Amino acid sequence: MENQIREFIETTFLVQFGTDIDEHTDLFKAGVIDSFGYVQLIHFIEREFSITYTEEEMLTQILTTFDSLVESVRDKVALA
């Protein structure tokens, strides 16, 4: 799961974990993703892991770091 998300972020947004960013980097503040990129990322996660985020979840959850994304996906997969 972590590797799939990491690989998507690296290939889609052209960054390298360990060099450009780390797991705690706020992807918005670092300029890695914008609102369009966020939608791409959430769409990938939903498709890849067969989970769904509501609009409210996307707007209220803190899904701005790799760590927070992975934690959220784990929680949703566990509930599925």
Q: How confident is the model at residue 80 (pLDDT cuts 50, 70, 90)?
A: confident
At the second CATH level, the architecture of 2-75 is: Orthogonal Bundle (1.10)
Residue 21: strand, helix, or coil: strand
pLDDT in tens, 21-78: 999 999 999 999 999 999 999 999 999 999 999 998 888 777 899 999 999 999 999 9
The ranges assigned to domains in the chain are 2-75
Cα of first residue to Cα of last residue in the chain, in angstroms, is 15
Q: What is the pTM of this model?
A: 0.91
Question: What sign for the dihedral angle of Cα 42, 65, 69, 56?
Answer: negative
